Structure 1
Amino acid sequence: MSFQLEKPTFITITNANPRRELHGDEKVRAIDIAFSLKGENTLLDLIEPGLREHHYCDNALKSGQETLPDVVIPLPNLRHPRLPTAYHYAKGEKWRGYRFVWDWGTDESHVDFTDVVLANLHYELNEGGSVTIMGTIQYNGEELQDNDVYGELSGLASEGEISAMLLAPAELLPAKKGYRAGKPDTPAAEGGTSGAPGGADATDLFLEKHSNTEGDEPTDDSDADADSDADADADSDDRGEEA
């Protein structure tokens, strides 16, 4: 299960950072949109099932008390109140392939981006059962060449709260360095470390250079050289007798 907002959900935009990225010789528009979502601690299970019960409990619930199936039991109390209340989820990881949808303006104007990156997913816990989930949406697709769209996105922080959807792909893919929306990752050089001839890495080259060590038996080429030297000596003796 991957974090997503399957239905239009009100999120608070805390920052919008328009910028340019260098891809080869081309400078392309990009944007980072930081958001937060505050609500009941059931939101934690959108990140990973079981995360709510990992952090929360109900101190008033009697030990061994049975619960009804398919009934969500409120868990208002921090399970470990002396531990930190702010956590990163998969710190440093970014995932591409998300779809970001936001309606704005008139005449059904809207943003509908595919292959969006979700980064910096983290959350904060509060005693009483409320949580805040935060993350950053990153995009650098061709749609940003539209000045109206780029301008609206750049000013999102002043909007405060917006209604949006963030849909996860069927399979999460890591966003690698050089990510460009809608385009595959740049493939690595075939056969091994770039810069080594024929794709060979440093270990391959070392083994090739030092494959014949002292103590190895002579090869067929060594025997052939010895035979050639013997033939040359015989020819020299024959010429001496003729003289």
Structure 2
Amino acid sequence: MFQLDQHDAVFPHLNLRKEKHGDDDAAAADLKFTLTAQNTILDTIDPNIVRAFWKKAEKSQQQSLPMEGSTDLVALNLPLLGEQDITGKFEGYELNIGSLMDHIEPVFFADAKVKKITWKPLEGGSVAMGFTVSVLLDENEDAELISAWRRGDVRLWEDINAAIKPVLQGFGFALSFRTKTRDQMVEVTGVLAHRGDHSEQTEIHLPADTSGSKNGVQSVGSSVIYGKRYAASALLNLTTQGEDDDGLLGGQKLDDKAMNWIDVANELEHPDAYQTKRQELLKDYGGAANLPTEVRNAFNGARARVTPKD
């Protein structure tokens, strides 16, 4: 499953549009991203790609400097080969667009679709990639997207694991997960282990996420992603907004109002109820710009969950 964790990228193109959902027109957008990364990023698509397109450099060959973290497969097998395409559309993704400047809040979308993936092998064990992400928009999110597009350089986050992993490793901890499926339910067990042979674990049970016209495999995969996030948060007492964590991640604890609105979002089951509560939410906070990140994420997830399937 194609995945990016905290990669810097260029956001060169934004297309705002409408798409049909039943009889209604829904605001939507296509976001084009480009980036350069180590070739091992292709392992998330197919673990055989790297060995097919790269090889070890011969002693007589002068090669470009490899990227940090790349393998010893840095020389091109087929140097005259151009850009490659990956066909198909991949659903059930989360997209979190952050700024390279810490004071700018990230923009989050649930149930995004990734398509038009292209990549070109480069000397030195790196790869130039491009892809398009399609999302549904809520009110005021078009302005946030335009702001991100104007900045041009963005940072893509898909999982809190990328942020907490080096911190845990520094103190001798490792976080791992086990998954099971049974009767349309997904069970994710998070295990926090220390090198001193002590461990703690927690289990999260979720229904398969069938929103957004996902097939069976995609619905399970989406719930596994949510389950890992919730399990990690439970084990480490973390949220992406930042609870009181003795300085591990920083930030401020969510207040009762925010927690209440998150509960409201989690209980929504109908599009009309979502629209009603969303208006109440914006009125309560005085506009979308004032929403805590966790509340925004909860309502984006609710929107994806209750939106009628095509």
With normalisation by structure 2, the TM-score equals 0.46
1:160 to 118, 127, 152: 152
Find the counterpart in structure 1 of residue 139 from structure 2.
146
1:204-243 equivalences in 2 (<5 Å): none
SS in 2 for 1:172: helix
Structure 1 pair 171–159 and aligned structure 2 pair: CA distance change class (3 A)? farther
- 1:218-238 superposed Cα distances (whole Å, 9 cap, x missing partner): xxxxxxxxxxxxxxxxxxxxx
Find the counterpart in structure 1 of residue 83 from structure 2.
86
For 1:4 and 1:117, the matched residues in 2 are separated by: 12
1:1-243 equivalences in 2 (<5 Å): 2-6=1-5, 8-60=6-58, 73-82=71-80, 84-89=81-86, 91=87, 93-103=88-98, 109-140=105-136, 144-147=137-140, 149-166=141-158, 171-172=217-218, 181-182=304-305, 183=307, 185-186=309-310
Q: Deviation at 1:118? A: 0.7
Count of matched residue pairs: 162
Q: CA RMSD in A?
A: 3.0
- 1:3-22 superposed Cα distances (whole Å, 9 cap, x missing partner): 1123x221111211111123
For 1:4 and 1:134, the matched residues in 2 are separated by: 13
Structure 1 pair 85–106 and aligned structure 2 pair: CA distance change class (3 A)? closer
Residues 37, 128 of structure 2: 8 Å contact kept: yes
For 1:137 and 1:33, the matched residues in 2 are separated by: 5
- 1:119-139 superposed Cα distances (whole Å, 9 cap, x missing partner): 111101123322112111101
For 1:5 and 1:35, the matched residues in 2 are separated by: 12
In structure 2, the gaps of 5 or more residues are 61-68, 160-208, 210-215, 220-302
For 2:59 and 2:51, the matched residues in 1 are separated by: 13
The sequence identity of aligned pairs, in percent, is 26
SS in 1 for 2:43: helix
**Which is bigger in relative contact order (C-alpha 8 A, separation at least 6)?**
1
Q: Deviation at 1:152? A: 1.7
Structure 1 pair 109–22 and aligned structure 2 pair: CA distance change class (3 A)? same
In structure 1, the gaps of 5 or more residues are 63-70, 174-179, 187-243
Structure 1 pair 171–31 and aligned structure 2 pair: CA distance change class (3 A)? same
Letter in 2 for 1:4: Q
Structure 1 pair 11–112 and aligned structure 2 pair: CA distance change class (3 A)? same
